[in-house]
Amino acid sequence: MDAEAKLALVADQMHLEPAEEVAPAPTSLRSPHAVAACGHSPAELRAAVEAGVVETLTNGNGNPGRSLEAKKNSLGIYNAAMPGGKRMPFLKTMLTSACERDCYYCPFRAGRDYRRATFKPDEMATVFHQMFKGGLAQGLFLSSGIAGGGMRTQDKLIAVAEILRRKFNYSGYLHLKIMPGAERDQVWRAMQFADRISINLEAPNAERLSSLAPRKVFFEELLRPLQWAEEIRQTQPAHRTYNGRWPSTVTQFVVGGAGESDLEILSTTAYLTRQLRLARSYFSAFSPVPDTPLENHAPENPWREHRLYQASFLFRDYGFDLEDMPFDAKGTLPLDVDPKLAWARANLAETPIEINRADRRDLLRVPGVGPKGADSIIAARRRGRLRDLRDLQKIGVLAARAAPFILIDGRQPVRQLALW
């Protein structure tokens, strides 16, 4: 099997592994002003062909028979949003889709009747380097099934990173997966070469994990490596990394596959954010995969995934705590309203915030005010008092959304429509 066929085979299931790309909200949430992902010139594909990465696909007239984007997606290349907002074409792939673990939700689980693909470390590094030179991909997310144990598999992932950094002098973005069972020294070694590392918890605790992946050990195999990464960042100098900075860390949860509550997921998420400084948690709404033990399990509502993302960003960027979340008696977030708005309705409707005096923490509690908006309000107040909603609009605040929860010079601002 050639490299292109291997990439295509692995790419078929890589949508189940969120990494860097911005997951769309449910259809009714999408803004009419959302910016589409950047397009790419057909020259990129021609360059990739010249580099020997892909063969030209033509119809009878010699014209490209498939679009560039379709070709890139078939190989596992997506438009990804990097930390800081930069967008780039990003190869998301695996060193091997063979796996000795029997996770109940996973298309790569042991024993499933599924064709596998495996790269050797030097082969994977060379293929990506050719893609990079050809302009087809600028960043790499590399995961793997577990073959021969987590430590052996981790050594191979590290080998790919080392070849890219040292042999090919690649200085671009690299997200490297940490395998269950990896040792502390392997985590440290991966951190020397990567811009981001991750290990998927999949579930919020050991009890829930046993329903999804009974052969994984929650603390020793999954949570402990994330703790090691933070300990290394706190105690070791970063000058021995390829770029002088320690990589960020992320994880993923399967949502709705094990009967867990939102409270369970967000309790773990809050710990990861506050104590281990994870850059973010990814949430993947459960979707049944044929020929797995959970193939008859009902798929999860994508709105639940979306609300969990919103809540996690409130922990990370807005200063909210777990106690601020609007859980019901079963530990569930409402699906019909975002958690920040639900909190504001319960806490600010009768006691709105004075926009000219509130500190940054209180400003971030107001719907329509994000971190940049809060900073803009504080900067604007140094130049003079804010007088009405138009002043907020001018500095980028969603004034209509904020209006029911604020005072401006002691008065509720006039608005045309009620928020609810």
Q: Per residue in 113-135, pLDDT tens?
A: 888 999 999 999 999 999 999 99
Q: Select from 140, 115, 134 the least CA-distant residue to 47.
A: 134
pLDDT for position 414: 72
Q: How confident is the model at residue 61 (pLDDT cuts 50, 70, 90)?
A: very low
Mean pLDDT of 193-198: 97
pLDDT for position 25: 52
pLDDT for position 12: 79
pLDDT > 90 in the chain, percent: 75
Q: Select from 354, 360, 275 the least CA-distant residue to 322.
A: 275
Q: How confident is the model at residue 69 (pLDDT cuts 50, 70, 90)?
A: low
CA angle 135, 67, 35 (to 5 degrees): 75
The answer to whether the predicted template modeling score (pTM) of the entire model surpasses 0.95 is no
Q: How confident is the model at residue 329 (pLDDT cuts 50, 70, 90)?
A: very high
Q: N- to C-terminal Cα distance for the chain? A: 58
pLDDT > 70 in the chain, percent: 87
**What are the φ and ψ backbone dihedral angles of 191, each rounded to 5 degrees?**
-70, -25
Q: How confident is the model at residue 317 (pLDDT cuts 50, 70, 90)?
A: very high
Mean pLDDT of 225-231: 98
> Is pLDDT of 100 > 50?
yes
Burial, 200: exposed, middle or buried (Cβ in 10 Å; 0-12, 13-18, 19+)? buried
Our CA dihedral for 287, 292, 295, 299, rounded to 10 degrees, sits at -20
> Is pLDDT of 386 > 80?
yes
Lowest mean pLDDT among 5-19, 25-39, 198-212: 25-39
Instruction: Please tell me the distance from the alpha carbon of residue 136 to that of residue 325, in angstroms, as a whole number.
Output: 42
395 secondary structure, DSSP code: T
Tell me how far CA of residue 186 lies from CA of 149, 223, 275, 276, 419, in angstroms: 13, 15, 22, 18, 52
pLDDT, tens only, 206-219: 999 999 999 999 99
Whether residue 180 contacts residue 216, with contact meaning beta carbons closer than 8 Å, is answered with yes
Count of beta carbons in the 10 Å neighbourhood of residue 185: 11
pLDDT, tens only, 74-84: 889 988 887 67
Lowest mean pLDDT among 125-139, 163-177, 255-269, 403-417: 403-417
Instruction: Please tell me the distance from the alpha carbon of residue 54 to that of residue 313, in angstroms, as a whole number.
Output: 39
Instruction: Please tell me the distance from the alpha carbon of residue 137 to that of residue 134, in angstroms, as a whole number.
Output: 8
115 three-state secondary structure: coil
pLDDT for position 67: 64
Mean pLDDT estimate for the chain: 87
DSSP E strands, 30-111 = 77-81, 87-94
Does 12 or 218 have the greater pLDDT score? 218
Q: How confident is the model at residue 87 (pLDDT cuts 50, 70, 90)?
A: confident
pLDDT for position 22: 52
Does 398 or 22 have the greater pLDDT score? 398
Whether residue 123 contacts residue 3, with contact meaning beta carbons closer than 8 Å, is answered with yes
